[in-house]
Amino acid sequence: MSSYQSPGSDRFWSIIKQLEELTSPLSVDKFCQNLGIGQVELYRAIHFYQIMKVQFVVKEIDQLEMIVPPTEIPKIYIEMSLTEWLSFQGHFPVLDQVKDSLFHQILVDRLVNIERCYQEYDFFEAYAALEMDDSPFKIKAQINLVDAVEPEVKSIFNDMPDIYQTIEKSLAHQEVLSISLKDGKTFQFFPHKIVHLGGNLHLIGEDLIGACLLYFDMDQINKVVVYQDKSHTPLVTSKEVEQFIEGMREIDGNTIRLILKITNPQNDDLVPLFQFLGKPALISNPKGEVIWAATIEPGEELFNWLYQLGSSVKIIDPLNFKQDFDRHVQENFKKSA
């Protein structure tokens, strides 16, 4: 079975539960209104299902953006022996106290076998992929939070809102783009991810003409248009995109192995926006705290993320990064004073 990972917030679970209960198309606005959520949260939940090949789709119907559920959602059937069922019941009142007991091991053995039967529906694998996918599903929420905490921090998309909105929707809808750069070059492009590389935001995706991965500095994009009548089956996997990012990082050499202790992981967003997490790890202790570790690119956005986590996070390593972050906090405090 998977080692412990944060299973997401109650808010996230409420969204995917409501999506699963859809039996007919429902407008994006209505769905978000019913749950009191933003569209970026909805797109993120849809993407989570798409990682497991459960194809919820957002499409325009009668000039409304509609969520169209798949014709069938997989069901997981569990058959247990009497002893296995009794061992399962034994967990109900004492789940936190029984990991060394025999009846816990009986249940674990059975659940491991069930998990093997349904490997394509692995929650932890899908959620980890979602957390490491730095596509802009959470941009608006992040921008709002940054503006509320530190007014002097400007949105990275202030100068190109139309480009941001087009890319956001294309990632959610898996659409092909026409991208024009400021140097006049134009590409037919299937976007995969937005990520920090070398201190700047880059859009990574497939060049449909050259049939290869490309990346563009977001500052160099002049215009983005969606091809309404063009579809594309990705030629590369998310793993290959990750390997591409890791290769670019090795060339640049600007990464650290960041280790944090987070005391309130249930209420915190454990992934900084647009950051690719290399070799991520989460380890919990009996106090409910989490040791968080990843190879990551340092920079202003990472400082802002840590600042927003507030007192619930402690930087364990590296020491020089902790010192840089402390200076960042002091400088921003002086600016706001």
Q: Write the DSSP string, 208-223.
A: TTTTEEEEEEGGGEEE
CATH number, domain containing residue 192: 2.30.30.100
**Of 227, 248, 269, which one is at a domain's C-terminal end?**
248
- CA torsion, ordered 141, 146, 151, 152, to nearest 10 deg: -120
**Of 225, 248, 271, which one is at a domain's C-terminal end?**
248
Query: 159 and 102 in one domain?
Result: no
167: pLDDT strictly greater than 70: yes
**Of 204, 228, 248, which one is at a domain's C-terminal end?**
248
23: pLDDT strictly greater than 60: yes
Query: 274 and 210 in one domain?
Result: no
On whether residue 3 sits in a domain, the answer given is no
User: First vs last Cα of the chain: how many Å apart?
Assistant: 50
Query: 301 and 214 in one domain?
Result: no
pLDDT at 155: 38
Residue 43 belongs to domain spanning: 10-74+121-132
Compare 157 and 184 and report the one with higher pLDDT: 184
Q: Do 206 and 192 contact (CB within 8 A), yes or no?
A: yes
On whether residue 232 sits in a domain, the answer given is yes
pTM of the model: 0.53
pLDDT at 5: 46
pLDDT in tens, 75-118: 777 777 778 767 766 665 566 566 666 666 666 666 666 666 65
53: pLDDT strictly greater than 90: no
How far is residue 184's CA from residue 64's CA, in Å, rounded to a whole number? 34
Q: Do 67 and 19 contact (CB within 8 A), yes or no?
A: yes
Compare 289 and 226 and report the one with higher pLDDT: 226
CA dist 318 to 39, 144, 257, 294, Å?
36, 29, 7, 12
Give the chain's mean pLDDT: 77
Query: 323 and 268 in one domain?
Result: yes
On whether residue 105 sits in a domain, the answer given is yes
CATH number, domain containing residue 290: 3.30.70
On whether residue 33 sits in a domain, the answer given is yes
Q: Do 273 and 303 contact (CB within 8 A), yes or no?
A: no
Taking residues 17-30, report their average pLDDT: 90
Which amino acid appears at position 50 of this protein?
Q
Compare 30 and 134 and report the one with higher pLDDT: 30
232: pLDDT strictly greater than 70: yes
Query: 307 and 216 in one domain?
Result: no
Query: 22 and 127 in one domain?
Result: yes
pLDDT at 45: 87
Percent of the chain with pLDDT over 90: 14
CATH number, domain containing residue 63: 1.10.10.10
Taking residues 267-280, report their average pLDDT: 77
205 burial (CB, 10 Å; 0-12 / 13-18 / 19+) is buried
Query: 283 and 236 in one domain?
Result: no
Nearest to 81 by CA among 109, 52, 53: 109
On whether residue 5 sits in a domain, the answer given is no
Compare 116 and 49 and report the one with higher pLDDT: 49
Query: 302 and 222 in one domain?
Result: no
On whether residue 20 sits in a domain, the answer given is yes
On whether residue 287 sits in a domain, the answer given is yes
Q: Pick the range with the lowest mean pLDDT from 76-90, 145-159, 258-272, 289-303.
A: 145-159
Query: 264 and 215 in one domain?
Result: no
Compare 324 and 267 and report the one with higher pLDDT: 324
135 burial (CB, 10 Å; 0-12 / 13-18 / 19+) is buried
Length of the chain: 337
**pLDDT band at residue 136, thresholds of 50, 70 and 90?**
very low
Query: 93 and 26 in one domain?
Result: no
pLDDT at 118: 59
pLDDT at 26: 93
Compare 200 and 118 and report the one with higher pLDDT: 200
On whether residue 28 sits in a domain, the answer given is yes
Q: Write the DSSP string, 62-131.
A: TTEEEEE--S----------HHHHHHHHHHTT-GGG-TTSHHHHHHHHHHHHHHHHTGGG-HHHHHHHHH
Percent of the chain with pLDDT over 70: 71
Query: 184 and 221 in one domain?
Result: yes
Nearest to 234 by CA among 31, 75, 51: 51
State how many domains the chain has: 4
Compare 269 and 283 and report the one with higher pLDDT: 283
Q: Pick the range with the lowest mean pLDDT from 9-23, 108-122, 288-302.
A: 108-122
**pLDDT band at residue 317, thresholds of 50, 70 and 90?**
very high
Query: 141 and 243 in one domain?
Result: yes
